[in-house]
Structure 1
Amino acid sequence: MKAAFEHVDFGRDCSVRVYHRRLARIPFEWHHHPEYELTLTMNSQGKRYIGDCVASYGADDLVLVPPHLPHTWASNRSIDAAHPQVAIVVWFDGAWLRRLADVCPEYNGLCDLLRRAACGLAFEHGAGSRMREHLDRLLSDKPRERLQAALDVLDLLSELPATPLASPSAFAARAGAPTGHEPDRINRVLALIETQFAHPLRLSALAKASGLSERSLTRHFTQHLGESVGHYVTRVRIGHACRMLTDTHAPISVIATRSGFPNVANFNRQFKAAKDMTPVEFRQQFALARRAEDEMSPALTERSPSLQRRRKEADGKRSSQPSRAGPRSA
């Protein structure tokens, strides 16, 4: 199941797009885009799919998704059935945010936030409530006020704990690629893992590539990435396997081999330890969600309300200024 590409239209002279989405149910819409996405989901409960991470979510769920990492939320039931489900979505380009941090040291924390978000982040309980305090400004009719509100929220989140979501290399190579924020020696190891994960990887070979001893590599790797070399390699392999499970119909044995596992039994064991389900169950999760959505999908001539794509030139018209319940750009 290939993720659909979403074009995010920021509007003229705007650097942030804010989308106020209200609906009875959140459909399964597996997609990706080149922008960062911060999503606050309110009065909603269901499952969210961020790369290869499948998890249940509830009230005031707050997640930051990096560029090109496929994702979707899916919910058929509001927490309060008398009111619609609400999602506040903020899209932005990380390039200008990094430039801002370069010239304004007050925003140095934003670079660290983007680095932490390489595999997606789910913020601790309570972060969503703190973002809600900024909603009036985020939904303002004034672009500058929306921009300032978005910066304030991101600056706030840069100081809060959050849990990484997807595995490195899950669905998008850049999720596990060197970020430039680790020392050059560690980046060389990451690059080698990224290209050679399907083959046996010995610590001695990785240490040689880094120019460090095995002991020093182990220490520096854990210091900069927060996990051991072996655990990281396994997560990269699991991430690649998840991509094949959702994007292809390849047999489990083929996926195991191409992901660097010595045999199917080892693959099944390590996959279940990492995902709390077997590879077959993981594939079924996506297939069932997709099938359920297809059965409820509108006609092909109707556009999904969440994927704002370029209008065809023949339309000859641009979207009118949205109401408070519609998308806003800043």
Structure 2
Amino acid sequence: MKAAYEHVDFGTSRSVRVFHRRLPRIPFEWHHHPEYELTLTMNSQGKRYIGDSITAYGADDLVLVPPNLPHTWASNRSIDAAHAQAAIVVWFDGAWVRRFADVCPEYGGLRNLLRRAACGLAFEEGAGAHMRAQSDRLLCADPRERLKAVIDTLDWLAAVPASPLASPSAFDARTGTPSGHESDQLNRVLAIIDTQFAHPLRMATLAKASGMSERSLTRQFTLHLGESVGRYIARVRIGHACRMLTDTSMPVSVVAARSGFANVSNFNRQFRATKGLTPAEYRQQFASEPHADASANATPALTERSPSLERKARG
């Protein structure tokens, strides 16, 4: 399933865009955009799709989505049926945050937050309730107060534990491009993996390309990426496979071969170990979700939604 492009309109003279969404249910709307998105989902439970990550979510779910990574939420019911489901969505430009951190070194932690969010972040329990407590400021009519609330929230989240969501190369737009924080030697290895994952990749070859010993390369991977070389390669391959499973109707055997797996049995075993589903079950998760319809969308209480997806819903 191809992700729809959403144009996020910030309006004039605005650094961030805040959207208060209230509706009977959250429909499946697979989309992407070039802005970062911080979303707090309230009084809702269902499934959260971030790249190739499919996870159940519940009350006060708080997630940071990086640019161009397809995503959506799809609710199955309200936690409190007497009230609407709601979300506070904050869109912001990564370059703007980096410039802000450069000018104000007190906010240097924001750079690390963006780096951590390269594959999406789900924040620990309690973080959503903390952001919900700031809702009056985030939804204030004064844009300057909203801006201050967003900066305070992001600065606080910079130190909050969170779990990464998508694989490094879950989709074409998220190919695991080196962040610029790693060494040139490690970046060379990452570039090789990201472009040649469909072929056999031997540790000796990667070490030679990096100019390091196999032991040093292993140590650098663990230090900078928090996992072994083999585990990183497997996640890149699984991410590519997930994209093919959702974007194409190719047989699973073809997906396995084009993702770098020697045989289907090994592919099925590694895929289930990583995603908790077989490749066929993973594909069905996307195929079984209903598309959004216009009746599911209520007018936002404080701001209007970006029109691109509204038009798609009515189409």
Residue 80 (structure 2) aligns with = 80
CA contact (8 A) 1:69 1:172 kept: no
Cα deviation digits, residues 280-311 of structure 1 (max 9, x gap): 0000010001xx336xx248xx9998553299
Change (3 A) 1:107 1:161: same
Q: 1:15 to 1:172 in 2, by over 3 A?
A: farther
**Is the 1:198–1:258 contact (alpha carbons within 8 Å) kept by the matching residues of 2?**
yes
Q: After the TM superposition, which residues 1-330 of structure 1 pair with which residues of structure 2 at under 5 Å, given as runs?
A: 1-289=1-289, 292-293=290-291, 297-298=293-294, 307-309=306-308
Structure 2: stretches of 5+ with no match in the other structure? none
8 Å contact kept, 1:36–1:67: yes
Per the TM alignment, residue 134 of structure 1 is displaced from its structure 2 partner at its CA by: 1.4
Q: Which runs of 4+ in 1 moved over 3 A?
A: 172-175, 302-307
More deviation, 185-194/235-244 = 185-194
* Shift in CA distance, 142/177, structure 1 to aligned 2, threshold 3 Å: same
SS at match of 2:307: coil
Residue by residue over 1:39-92, the C-alpha shift from the partner in whole angstroms, topping out at 9 and shown as x without a partner, is 000000000000000000000000000000000000131000000001000000
1:119·1:175 contact (CA, 8 Å) conserved in 2? no
The answer to whether the 8 A contact 2:122-2:163 is kept is: yes
Please tell me whether the aligned partners of residues 69 and 175 of structure 1 are also in contact (alpha carbons under 8 angstroms): no
SS for the counterpart of 1:47 is: strand
SS state of the match for residue 206, structure 1?
Answer: helix
Q: Secondary structure at the match of 1:223?
A: helix
Deviation, 1:175, is: 4.9
Identity percentage of aligned residues: 72
Separation in structure 2 between the aligned mates of residue 270 and residue 17 of structure 1, nearest angstrom: 40
* One-letter identity of the residue aligned with 1:309: S
* Residues 50, 120 of structure 2: 8 Å contact kept: yes
Q: Is the 8 A contact 2:3 2:70 kept in 1?
A: yes
Q: Secondary structure at the match of 1:261?
A: coil
Are residues 67 and 59 of structure 1, via their aligned partners in 2, closer, same or farther at CA, if it must alter by over 3 Å?
Answer: same
Please say if residues 68 and 173 of structure 2, whose CA atoms lie closer than 8 Å, have aligned partners that are also in contact: no
Contact 1:9 1:310 (C-alpha < 8 Å) held by counterparts:
no
Q: Residue by residue, what CA displacement relative to the aligned partner does 1:14-55 show, whole Å, maximum 9, x if unpaired?
A: 110000000000000000000000000000000000000000
Separation in 2, partners of 1:191, 1:258: 18
Task: Give the conservation status (yes or no) of the 8 Å contact 2:137–2:146.
Answer: yes
What amino acid maps onto 2:94 in structure 1?
G
Give the conservation status (yes or no) of the 8 Å contact 2:9–2:306: no
Q: Residue 9 of structure 1: CA displacement?
A: 0.1
Contact 1:9 1:309 (8 Å CA) reproduced = no
What letter corresponds to residue 60 of structure 2 in structure 1? D
Q: Name the SS for the 1:167 alignment partner.
A: coil
Q: Aligned AA for 2:53?
A: C
CA RMSD of aligned residues (A): 1.9
Residue 288 of structure 1 aligns to which amino acid in structure 2?
S
C-alpha contact 1:134 1:149 (8 A) present in aligned 2: yes
